[in-house]
Every structure is written in structure tokens, then in C-alpha cells.
Amino acid sequence: MGKDNLTTEEILARCRAEDGGGAAAPAEGAPAPEAPAAGQSAADQPAAEAPAAAPAKKSGPAPTSTADILAALRAEVKGGGAALAAEARESPKPAAAKKPGAKPASTAGILAAARGEVSGGGGAAAAPVAAKPSAKPAVKKVPDGEKRSAQEMIAALRKPAGAEDKASPVVKSSGPAKPKFPKKPVAAGKPKAAKADDIPRRGFLLGLVATPLALAWTIMTATAGVSLLAVARFMFPNVLVEPPMRFKIGPPSDYPPGTVSTKFKAARGIWVVHTDQYKGRDLIYALASVCTHLGCTPSWLEGEQKFKCPCHGSGFYITGVNFEGPAPRPLERVGLAVAPDGMLEVDKSVKFQEEMGQWEDATSYVDASTV
Ligand code: FES
């Protein structure tokens, strides 16, 4: 059975060997070739005799090429190998069913017949087995020490040249190897990259300001915020907070005779005058610091003992009576009284005009001789 799995090359090699010396010497143990008797069919002949008779027909130079060998084999099979070829095709029918002159149709049949011959005349029973084409591909035998699997060979190819000697019993097959790309060269004068902490903050600021879309959104958001604040302010009343109209200015002793106090001019808009020049009466009164021409604020000139308006030059005496400039009338007095606590109390809600005779009102002055 060991000879049944012969390759085509081995069969052809044996055929060549037989062609070279088989003509003079028949196969080992084979009987002398005899021509089939006339009238005796090939089916009557045993299948093992057919290949034994083939070498006897050889004559002349030995074939050297495959074509010559195949031609010689066809000639042999035509004569007496029909039964052998039929058995080689694994036909359930007996070889006698074939015609004596049947010619193998294909190369496979010829090779099957040749295998039958090479098997050394093993009998008709062995011929079909020998002619059966081997399903296994011809594998070159490799010593056991050198036999490697396909994965091992692939792993060996993937290994670098220097790591070829390091035999690893475990081969990792985790998919195709990823190609390694060379690192990007860094220029010599290239500045260092920014710190990782600065990138998000800087990127946020740039994204907030530099990007046109972000800038537009920022402006629109700011405008909407200002508009909302303006609407909220509009909902509240526009109240002017003013100091109270009634306030105390201290005791009468704080205002000596013949003086003009200007300490309430800026905050309260009044002068406090203590004089006896108006009709010879020692009075304390309060004058409104408003020019009767167009409403400017005059100044007290201590050296000149007069009120002088800087706008158009109107002048007023210490009594408040106008004497120069465009002012048409004297300054106005405001209400003044002594509070229960002895303090002088001013009431700006009340005004007294000299031309109207209102300065005679007792609430427009405080008699200093009585306090
Ligand atoms: Fe005082 Fe004109 S406003 S002089």
C-alpha cells in the first residue's frame, strides 16, 4: 500500500527507468509476456497480466520526454491495458465490459494505467486501489525538527531580522500589524509649545473675542443686557432727592451782628445775615442765594459789603436790596423762626419779597434784641 500514493513525477520516473531497461529485462517476478490469443478477449485476461506484457512490447530507444512516455503508455494501454484502465477509473463494472481496443480518454486514465504497471503486477484487485488518484496534494517531506505551521512562518516573517533567533513558543495573532510611521521632525528654531494649562484658557478667550460669530454673539448679548437694564430702570420713578425744606442752623449767638454767614450757601442756598441796617432794626434773617435777574448765584464780597452776581453784574446791599445791574428787585427772604429748643430754624418753603411788603412779616426775620 505504500506504493499506492506515488506522485506523477515518481510514476514517470519509474516509467522512464522501465523504458530504459525493461525492454531487455521484464519486471521482477513477472511471467514472460505472451501475446493474447486470437479470439480471446481482453476481459478474459487477468488485469495484472496487462501491465506485465507492456514492457515486452518496448523496442527501440527509450523515450525521454513526457510526451513520448504518454504516447508509449497509450500504445500499451491500447493493446492490453483496457481492463486496467477501466479499473483505474473505479468503475463498478468488470474490466471485461470494456472493449478490447478501448483507448484511455484522458491523461488521468493513462496515469492510472501506469500506476498499475508500476505496482509490479499486484493483481487485478490491487489495480483499482493503485490507480485511484490520491486526494492529498504532494507535500514535500520536511524533517520533524524543521516542520513549522503557517502561523509560525508568518510570525517569523513579521519578526525583525535581529529577533529571528529568539524562538517564541506563543505566536500572537491579534490582527494585522500596524505600520509604524516616522516621527515628525522638529525644527531647531521652533518655539516651544504652550503649556497645557494655558491652552484652554487662551482658547476660550480667543474663541470669545476673535471668532466673528462669537464676537457677534457677544455684542448682541451685551446689547440685550443693556436694554434690559434700561427697561428695568424705566419701571422705577425718576425721583429727585432734595434736602428737607425745614432745617435748623444753630443758636442765634452763632451769628454776630454785622455779619453774613455763607456756610449754608452751598448746601442749603441761603445766607444768614445779622444786621441792623434795614430800617434800624437788629434783625437776623435768611436771604435766598438766587439772583432776581435770571437766577444766577451771587457771591458775598466781604470787602465791599455787598452781594455781586457774576452773570450780569447785579449788586445787592447787605440788606438784600438791589442797587446795580439788571436785577429788577431785591433778593428774597425765606422763613426763619426760633425753634422750641432755642435753635434758629429755616423754612425754605416760604418766601418773602420786599417789593410786596412781605419783609414786614414776623416769620421773615428774628428780632435779635429779643433772643
Ligand atoms: Fe444776576 Fe443777571 S442773573 S445779574
pLDDT digits (tens, 9 = 90+) for 255-282: 999 999 999 999 999 999 999 999 999 9
| Residue among 242, 230, 277 nearest 257 (CA) | 277
**CB of 290 closer than 6 A to ligand 1?**
no
- Residue 182: burial class (beta carbons within 10 Å; 0-12, 13-18, 19+): exposed
| Residue among 115, 122, 108, 109 nearest 15 (CA) | 115
What pLDDT does residue 114 have? 61
Q: How many whole angstroms from its chain centre is CA 270?
A: 75
Yes or no: say if 245 and 340 are a contact pair by the CB < 8 Å rule.
no
Answer positive or negative: Cα dihedral of 98, 102, 104, 105.
Answer: negative
pLDDT grade, residue 239 (50/70/90)? confident
**CB of 292 closer than 6 A to ligand 1?**
no
**CB of 326 closer than 6 A to ligand 1?**
yes
Residue 26 has pLDDT above 50, yes or no: no
**CB of 20 closer than 6 A to ligand 1?**
no
Please list, in sequence order, all residues whose beta carbon lies within 8 angstroms of the beta carbon of residue 43, skipping any fewer than 6 positions away: 83, 94, 95, 96, 97, 98, 100
39-78: per-residue pLDDT in tens?
344 334 443 344 444 444 444 455 567 777 777 777 765 6
pLDDT, greater one: 178 or 119: 178
Dist. CA 300 → ligand 1 center (Å) = 14
pLDDT grade, residue 29 (50/70/90)? very low
Q: Which atom of ligand 1 is nearest to the CA of 294?
A: 3
Q: Which atom of ligand 1 is nearest to the CA of 312?
A: 4
Dist. CA 264 → ligand 1 center (Å) = 21
Residue 348 has pLDDT above 80, yes or no: yes
| Residue among 118, 129, 131, 126 nearest 54 (CA) | 118
Residue 309 has pLDDT above 90, yes or no: yes
The residue nearest atom 2 of ligand 1, judged by CA position, is 312
Q: Using the 8-state DSSP alphabet, how is residue 319 labeled?
A: T
**CB of 312 closer than 6 A to ligand 1?**
yes
The residue nearest atom 4 of ligand 1, judged by CA position, is 312
Dist. CA 295 → ligand 1 center (Å) = 6
Dist. CA 299 → ligand 1 center (Å) = 11
Residue 312 has pLDDT above 70, yes or no: yes
Q: Which atom of ligand 1 is nearest to the CA of 313?
A: 4
pLDDT grade, residue 154 (50/70/90)? confident
Task: Report angle CA 38, 43, 47 to the nearest 5 degrees.
Answer: 110
| Residue among 278, 277, 269, 273 nearest 260 (CA) | 273
Q: Which atom of ligand 1 is nearest to the CA of 295?
A: 3
Provide long-range contacts, Cβ within 8 A and 24+ apart, for 19-22: 19/58, 19/62, 19/63, 19/69, 19/72, 20/62, 22/55, 22/58
pTM: 0.41
**CB of 325 closer than 6 A to ligand 1?**
yes
Q: Which atom of ligand 1 is nearest to the CA of 326?
A: 4
Radius of gyration of the chain (CA): 70
**CB of 309 closer than 6 A to ligand 1?**
yes
**CB of 331 closer than 6 A to ligand 1?**
no
> C-alpha grid cell for residue 289?
442765594
Query: Could you tell me the CA-to-CA distances from 350 to 161, 178, 193 in Å, in that order?
Result: 114, 100, 78
The residue nearest atom 3 of ligand 1, judged by CA position, is 294
Q: Which atom of ligand 1 is nearest to the CA of 314?
A: 4
- In a mutational test of the pocket of ligand 1, which residue from 308, 312, 332 has the highest number of ligand atoms less than 8 Å from its CB? 312
Cβ count within 10 A of residue 36: 16
pLDDT grade, residue 89 (50/70/90)? low
